[in-house]
Amino acid sequence: MIVVLRQGTEAQERERLIDWLKGRGLEVWVAQREGQTALCVSGDVAAVDPRWLSSLEAVDSVRCSAEPFRRAGRGVHAQDTVVEIGGVKVGGGHFVMIAGPCSVETEEQIVAVAGAVKAAGAQLLRGGAFKPRTSPYTFQGRGADGLELLKTARAATGLPIVTEITDAAQLPLFEEVDVIQVGARNMQNFALLRELGRTRKPILLKRGLAATLKELLMSAEHIMAGGNGQIILCERGIRTFGDYTRNTLDLAAVPMLRELTHLPVIVDPSHATGIARLVRPMALAAAACGADGLMIEVHPDPGNALSDGAQSLRPEDYAALADEVRRIREVVAK
Residue ranges binding Mn ion (CB under 5 A):
102, 308
How far from chain centre, in Å, is Cα 298?
Answer: 18
> What are the respective helix, strand and coil percentages of the chain, to the nearest 5?
40, 20, 40
**Interacting residues with ligand PEP between 197 and 216 (CB under 6 A):** 206
How far apart are alpha carbons 199 and 51 in whole angstroms?
42
Instruction: Count CB atoms within 10 A of the CB of residue 20.
Output: 14
**Residue with the CB atom nearest ligand PEP in the bound state:** 183
Interface with ligand PEP (CB under 6 A), residue from 43, 73, 183, 300: 183
Query: Cα(49)–Cα(206) distance, rounded to whole angstroms?
Result: 38
Q: Is 246 in the site for ligand PEP (CB under 6 A)?
A: no
Residue 184 sits in the site that holds ligand PEP (CB under 6 A): yes
Residue 236 touches which member of Mn ion, ligand PEP, none, C-beta under 5-8 Å by kind:
ligand PEP
Choose one: 5-13, 182-190, 193-201, 258-266; the region binding ligand PEP (CB under 6 A): 182-190
The amino acid present at 258, given as its one-letter code, is R
| Cα 128-131-135 angle, rounded to 5 deg | 145
The answer to whether 236 contacts ligand PEP (rule: CB under 6 A) is yes
The binder of 184, among ligand PEP, Mn ion, none, by C-beta within 5 to 8 A per type, is ligand PEP
Residue among 102 and 120 whose Cβ is closer to ligand PEP = 102
Nearer to Mn ion, 102 or 149 (CB): 102
Kindly tell me the number of DSSP H helices and DSSP E strands found in the chain: 10, 14
Q: Which does 206 bind (CB under 5 to 8 A by kind): ligand PEP, Mn ion, none?
A: ligand PEP
Judged by CB under 6 A, the stretch of 69-77, 147-155, 180-188, 211-219 that binds ligand PEP is 180-188
By DSSP bridging, strand 293-297 and strand 96-100 are: parallel
